[in-house]
Amino acid sequence: MRPLRTRGVTSSRENMVYTVDCLRDDFDTVMEYLINVTTAPEFRPWEVSDLTPRVKRDNAQAKQSAQIDLLEALHEAAYKNALSNSLYCPNHMVGNITSEHLHQFVQNNFTSARMALVGLGVDHEVLTQVGEQFLNIRSGAGTMGAAAQYRGGEVRVPGLGALVHSAVVSESAAAGSGEALAFSVLQHILGAGLHVKRGSCTSSKLVQGVTKATADPFDVSAFNASYSDSGLFGVYTISQSAAAADVIKAALAEVKAVADGDVTRLTSLGPRPS
């Protein structure tokens, strides 16, 4: 078989995605490997133990990133279960995860009712045939997880850097709902981040509002995350420690202005009526 062009696994708080990219003629063979990896993984004990240094490295790199540290703390504060779980292995479990743990996780979660097979550049009938042939190996609903419960709260992570990263959010809406679409529109109205490399994003309502509050360098954007049964919406700011309070207050004032129905602010990006 010719070598795969790309392959990999990515994960989020709710999903794990296995991807392969190959020539169309190699589809059948590649799919057999993909199905085996997702439905009947081996998890050899020596391979699992060999990953311990990598897990430690991933945790260390995450701790060096203020953005990752903030997002982990944000979800820990916002939820009391489910979505509060970190994407990174707890320190007390590093080196203590066994093959049995992984097999049990797959048994409970990698079932046909909780999996989807998606293909690009392949006939739908062919993809359906492969799915029906292989995914029946792990039929069933699997263990149903508890719905995320939003609680709110505050977490402060001490640091020695000169910059303060902060996120002030509230619960929004679950993905796929009409409310989630409204929050997505609101995110772009307020300012979803830079659209031009090294640009200043002066058209952002949040940037315009915070500029009036401080002359120090800063960054601000609307934060929006949607999950299957919950969501978070708010503002994410980066600023000098001395100006942090002013930056956060100014950003929240812009959100409040939109919530209060400030039509002038909402239409100021468009042309003047004739």
pLDDT top residue among 181 and 266 = 181
Which stretches within the chain are classed as H helix? 27-39, 45-50, 52-63, 66-78, 99-109, 124-134, 178-190, 205-211, 244-259, 263-267
Q: Has residue 183 got a pLDDT over 70?
A: yes
Tokens of 10: 């990515």
Examine residue 271 and state whether it is found in any structural domain, yes or no.
no
Which amino acid, 2?
Answer: R
CA distance 95 to 98: 8
Q: What is the rounded average pLDDT of the residues 62-86?
A: 93
Using one digit for the tens of pLDDT, what is the confidence trace for 91-144? 999 999 999 999 999 888 888 788 888 888 888 888 888 877 776 666 666 677
* β-bridge partners, 5: none
Examine residue 175 and state whether it is found in any structural domain, yes or no.
yes
Examine residue 267 and state whether it is found in any structural domain, yes or no.
no
Nearest partner of 183 among 233, 235, 237, judged by Cα: 233
Examine residue 105 and state whether it is found in any structural domain, yes or no.
yes
Are residues 91 and 31 both part of a single domain?
yes
Burial of 99 per CB tally in 10 Å (0-12, 13-18, 19+): middle
Examine residue 270 and state whether it is found in any structural domain, yes or no.
no
pLDDT at 135: 66
- Percent of the chain at pLDDT > 70 equals 86
Q: Has residue 265 got a pLDDT over 60?
A: no
**For the chain, how many structural domains are there in total?**
2
Q: What is the rounded average pLDDT of the residues 196-208?
A: 71
pLDDT at 131: 78
Spell out the residues 6+ positions from residue 27 whose beta carbon is closer than 8 angstroms to its own: 122, 126
Are residues 128 and 166 both part of a single domain?
no
Are residues 78 and 41 both part of a single domain?
yes
* C-alpha 213 chain-centroid distance: 30
Show the domain range for 233.
Answer: 161-260
- CA neighbours within 13 Å on the CB side: how many for 75? 23
Are residues 17 and 78 both part of a single domain?
yes
Q: What is the rounded average pLDDT of the residues 254-274?
A: 57
Tokens of 25: 């003629």
- Looking at every residue in the chain, the average pLDDT score rounds to 85
Are residues 102 and 178 both part of a single domain?
no
CA distance 69 to 209: 26
Q: Has residue 2 got a pLDDT over 60?
A: no
Examine residue 150 and state whether it is found in any structural domain, yes or no.
no
Are residues 101 and 194 both part of a single domain?
no
Cβ 89 vs Cβ 56: under 8 Å: no
Are residues 165 and 130 both part of a single domain?
no
pTM for the model stands at: 0.82
Are residues 119 and 200 both part of a single domain?
no
In this structure, what are the phi and psi dihedrals at residue 66, rounded to the nearest 5 degrees? -65, -35
Are residues 25 and 130 both part of a single domain?
yes
Are residues 119 and 172 both part of a single domain?
no
Using one digit for the tens of pLDDT, what is the confidence trace for 25-68? 888 888 888 888 888 888 999 999 999 999 999 999 998 999 99
pLDDT-based confidence at 200, cuts 50/70/90? low
* Parallel, antiparallel or unpaired: strands 6-11 and 163-171: unpaired
Are residues 179 and 117 both part of a single domain?
no
Examine residue 268 and state whether it is found in any structural domain, yes or no.
no
Examine residue 273 and state whether it is found in any structural domain, yes or no.
no
pLDDT-based confidence at 74, cuts 50/70/90? very high
CATH number, residue 111:
3.30.830.10
Are residues 196 and 128 both part of a single domain?
no
Cβ 233 vs Cβ 223: under 8 Å: yes
Cβ 19 vs Cβ 7: under 8 Å: yes
